[in-house]
Every structure is written in structure tokens, then in C-alpha cells.
Chains A and B, each alone.
Chain A
Amino acid sequence: GAVVSQHPSWVICKSGTSVKIECRSLDFQATTMFWYRQFPKQSLMLMATSNEGSKATYEQGVEKDKFLINHASLTLSTLTVTSAHPEDSSFYICSARDQSGGAVETQYFGPGTRLLVL
């Protein structure tokens, strides 16, 4: 299957700082990428949909000024958590949709980024 990478896998930061997480599709182009948040022992919650060359679409309740998303190329989307606070500590997962060759609408997931804000 298609491969999606995420970097970093682990980040610890001080409260008030900003953290950038990268999501890359390694062997396919993705016009659409997705950002999820997962709390311990819970399911994935969609935060936003990242569209290449246009503004991201945020889910209700997700602050767009706090979670900045940039999708500058067909293989890279970034999520920046601005002015992070301890309540932003979570596991962030990205996914990319592979539509090449008429593929079924399947999302392939990155390995996730664990964020801890002190």
C-alpha cells in the first residue's frame, strides 16, 4: 500500500511555543490530506482537511488560528500548533488520500506524532 510519513514522531515543548508537524506522501501524490487527533483509548477525530493549493477546511470546534495547516505541494502538508498549551498534548495523525489510477477512496495514515506540552 501507499506510504505516508510524519515528522517528528515525538515532540516535547514548553507552553507558549509553536510546533510544526510534517506529513508526506512518499510514493503517490495527494491533493487531499487529513489531520486527526486521538486522545488515549479513544477514536480518531477529524480536525481538518488539507487541500493542495487552497485553504484547509476545519471541523466544527477546531480553531483555525490555533491549528495552522499548509498544503503547499502534492506530497506535503504541515500542521502548526501555535502557542501550544498542555491541553494540546495529544497524538496527531495525518492521512493522505490515494486516488491514482481510479483507486478506491482510501486514506493511508502516517505513523503519528505524539505532542507533549509542558
Chain B
Amino acid sequence: AQTVTQSQPEMSVQEAETVTLSCTYDTSESDYYLFWYKQPPSRQMILVIRQEAYKQQNATENRFSVNFQKAAKSFSLKISDSQLGDAAMYFCAYSPYNNNDMRFGAGTRLTVKP
């Protein structure tokens, strides 16, 4: 079974600074997808960034980027120039290729200090 581990229950960052959220996963598959979702207080799940495992290049979306280390099964999220609106729960998720299963980590609560 695939598992996703987020070892940081809570993180804090100063506004305009950079923060990195950790995620590791366990799988025997070679093709899969990885995602970071954001859940603000409204509880709406919002896709932040996604990575296809066969791509070596790290995905980037504006201030959000990932460090994907396939051999280490690590998928961390870096938020640059943190903004107050970035405060939320962040969930790392794994989905096998051509499969319905998406598994979520326990989440990291990010606080942004003004």
C-alpha cells in the first residue's frame, strides 16, 4: 500500500520569507503523480502544484516549487515570498498512474506571521 508522510504538523514563516514543507512517500510503482493541495479555513481543497514522476524537472508555479527526489521518495514544497494568504493546511498527495487511488498525508498547518 502506498503511504504519504508529512512529518511537520505545524510550520511558521515570516511574511516575505521562504518556507519548505516536507513530504515523503512509499510506493513500489515507477509511474505516479504527486500533488500539493492547500486547504484554507474555508476547507476548499485547492491544487497548488503537481509533479509527474517520470519528469526529472521540478515543477514550478509562480512562488511555489517542489524538490522532487524520486530515489529518496521525497517531494517537498517550497513557498517563496510567503504571503498572509498562504496560511492554510497543506496536504501532500500521491496517485498511481492510471489508477483511481489518491492518498493524502496528515497535513502541515502553515502560519504566516506579518
Binding site for B on A (CB under 8 A): 1, 32, 34, 38, 42-44, 46, 49, 57, 91, 93, 95, 97, 104-109, 111-112
Write out the residue numbers on chain B whose beta carbons fall within 8 Å of the beta carbon of A104. 33, 50, 52
Write out the residue numbers on chain A whose beta carbons fall within 8 Å of the beta carbon of B42. 111
Which interface residue of A32, A97, A109 has the most chain B CB atoms within 10 A?
A109
Find out whether the CB atom of B35 lies under 8 angstroms from the CB atom of A44.
Answer: no
User: Closest residue to A108 on the B side, CB-wise?
Assistant: B47
Write out the residue numbers on chain B whose beta carbons fall within 8 Å of the beta carbon of A93. 43, 45
Find out whether the CB atom of B43 lies under 8 angstroms from the CB atom of A112.
Answer: yes
Find out whether the CB atom of B97 lies under 8 angstroms from the CB atom of A105.
Answer: yes
Q: Which of B67-99 contact A (CB under 8 A)?
A: 91, 95, 97-99
| Number of residues of chain B lying within 8 A (CB) of chain A | 24
**Interface pairs (13), CB distance under 8 Å:** A1-B47, A43-B106, A43-B107, A46-B102, A95-B45, A104-B33, A105-B97, A105-B98, A105-B99, A106-B35, A106-B50, A109-B37, A111-B42
Which interface residue of B44, B102, B104 has the most chain A CB atoms within 10 A?
B102
Binding site for A on B (CB under 8 A): 33, 35, 37, 42-47, 50, 52, 91, 95, 97-107
Min CB distance B60 to A, Å, is 15
User: Closest residue to B46 on the A side, CB-wise?
Assistant: A109
User: Closest residue to B100 on the A side, CB-wise?
Assistant: A49
Write out the residue numbers on chain A whose beta carbons fall within 8 Å of the beta carbon of B33. 104-106
Where chain B touches its partner, the secondary structure class is: loop
User: Closest residue to A45 on the B side, CB-wise?
Assistant: B104
Q: Which 7 A-B pairs have the closest CB atoms?
A: A109-B45, A49-B100, A43-B104, A111-B44, A44-B104, A43-B106, A112-B43
Bound-state CA distance A38–B91 (Å) is 13
User: Closest residue to B107 on the A side, CB-wise?
Assistant: A43
Which interface residue of A42, A107, A108 has the most chain B CB atoms within 10 A?
A107
Find out whether the CB atom of B91 lies under 8 angstroms from the CB atom of A44.
Answer: yes
Bound-state CA distance A58–B99 (Å) is 15
Find out whether the CB atom of A107 lies under 8 angstroms from the CB atom of B102.
Answer: yes
Bound-state CA distance A43–B98 (Å) is 23
Bound-state CA distance A73–B58 (Å) is 37
The residue that B43 contacts in the complex, of A46, A95, A111, with Cβ under 8 A, is A111
